[in-house]
Amino acid sequence: MTRARTNPARPQLPNPRQTRRGFLGLGLAAGIVLSLEACGGASTADSASGGSKTIKWAWQLPTTWDPVTSSAGSDVQMLALAYDPLTALDEQGNAVPWLAESWAYDEAGTSVTFTLRPGLTFSDGKPIDAAAVAASIERGRTQDGSLIAPQMATIKKVSAPGDLEVLVELSEVDYQYPLLFAGKTGMVVNPAAFEADAAALATQPAGSGPFTVTSYVQNDHASMKKNPRFHLADEIKVENFDLYPQQDPSTAVASVRSGQFNIGRLGGAQVQQAKDAGLDVQVIDTMYVSVLDVNVSMAPFDDPAVVEAMKYGIDREKVREVAFFGLGDVNYQPFPPGYVGYNAELDDLYAHDPDKARQLLADAGYTAPVKGTFTSSGQSDPAVELIQAQLKEVGIELEIESIPPTQHTQLVYLEHSRALTYDGFAGRESPVQAFQVLFGAEGLMNPGRTTNPELEAQLEKVKKTPTDSPEYPALLQEATRIAVTSFPNVFLQLMPSAIARKGVSELPDLPSLRRFEGVKA
Three-state DSSP at 249 gives: helix
Which pLDDT belongs to residue 405?
87
pLDDT digits (tens, 9 = 90+) for 232-252: 999 999 999 999 998 888 899
Query: For residue 26, is pLDDT > 50?
Result: no
In contact, 370 and 360? CB cutoff 8 Å: no
pLDDT digits (tens, 9 = 90+) for 260-306: 999 999 989 999 999 999 999 999 888 899 999 999 999 999 999 99
Those residues whose C-beta lies under 8 Å from the C-beta of residue 272, and which sit 6 or more positions away, are none
134-171 burial, b for 16+ CB within 10 Å, e for fewer? bbbbbbbbebeebbbbbbbebbeebebeeebbbbbebe
Q: How far, CA to CA in Å, does 85 sit from each of 133, 214, 279, 320? A: 10, 21, 34, 35
Distance, in Å, from the CA atom of 426 to the CA atom of 270, rounded to the nearest integer, reads: 22
| Cross-strand pairs, 195 | none
pLDDT digits (tens, 9 = 90+) for 189-216: 999 999 999 999 999 999 999 999 999 9
Please name each of the domains of the chain with its CATH number. 289-494 (3.10.105.10)
Which residue in 88, 81, 75, 74 sits closest to 10, CA to CA? 88
Q: pLDDT band for position 339 (50/70/90)?
A: confident
Q: What is the mean pLDDT of residues 412-438?
A: 92
Query: For residue 372, is pLDDT > 70?
Result: yes
Q: How large a percentage of the chain has pLDDT more than 70?
A: 89
Q: Strands across the sheet with 211-217, in order?
A: 211-217, 221-226, 240-244, 54-58, 263-266, 497-501, 280-284
pLDDT digits (tens, 9 = 90+) for 98-156: 999 999 999 999 999 999 999 999 999 999 999 999 999 999 999 999 999 988 999 99
Q: What is the DSSP letter of 121?
A: B
Query: For residue 8, is pLDDT > 80?
Result: no
Higher pLDDT, 92 or 118: 118
Q: What is the mean pLDDT of residues 2-26?
A: 39
